[in-house]
Structure 1
Amino acid sequence: MRILNLGVALLAAVTVAGCATGQGAGDYQRTETRRVMSVRLGVIEGVRAVKLEGTKSPVGTIGGAAVGGIAGSTVGGGKGSAIGAVVGAVVGGLAGAAAEEGLTRSQGVEITLKMDNGEMLAITQEDQGENFKPGERVRLLQDGRTTRVTR
């Protein structure tokens, strides 16, 4: 039962870590407030669905190693328990890292724009259901570090 509780806690931590930072047009970090962004106008030339890889932070690895180590330590006794803990920690760490990456993977959209000055640009951002369409006039917001396409 204790292992199940730790597994649920790991899953919750990984899920929260995945939700912490969005990459869509409407997602702003607190540090982006009160910062000037340049606005350029253009027309969408093309839209293509892409996959954004998940996060690979220590959260999944450490959580999985902890759960695996505890689970492995219940196998055998004495040296067998210690070996089981080490093997469980390694396997759990690998599984936790893979789970975090899979759980935080998201759908994205690559938007190709023809700017008013004739320049062609492509921007990839998280797909948040904006349903951009070719021929649609949009705004490109840039601040030197972040670029996003909005209506």
Structure 2
Amino acid sequence: MTNTELTFMDNVGDLLVIMPSALNKLLGYRQLDSFSNEAAGVLIGERRDSHIVVHEISEPGEGDIRRRCYVDRRGSHHQVIVNEAFVRSSGRLQYLGEWHTHPEDQPSPSAIDLGTWRRHLVAQNQMVLLIIGRKEIWAAKKVTDDVVPLFRV
């Protein structure tokens, strides 16, 4: 359990900050043994000028399909959590992007991940993408059709 945030930066100095409460939940889904399945959810937080802060996540639940090397986030509860955060915060907290796990130490996106993000994650704003590995977290922003990796600060 950590009480510090995790920070990433893009090539122009814009930050992605994952707050400790969200980070602890994400780390709890690492696939540390050979029987654990992939997990997925959405990222919820705020945009502060050109910076992004993740405060909450949705977690796997009913309707999601989870296998060792595959996950499909289908549960309607993910949208419910985004809607509740938006209302509770008077619009400050919003949907920021997607997260999922990979059963590898240093994760990187698969061809399926990249294709899915390009086809289905369509937004005018930059969106955040996280892959939670056993030892590292891979982070990127989706900017129009490009996936731009971020660097840990």
- TM-score, normalised via structure 2 length: 0.23
TM (norm. structure 1) is: 0.23
Structure (1/2) with the larger strand percentage = 2
More helix by share: 1
Q: Which has the higher contact order (CA 8 A, sep 6+)?
A: 1
Structure number with larger C-alpha Rg: 1
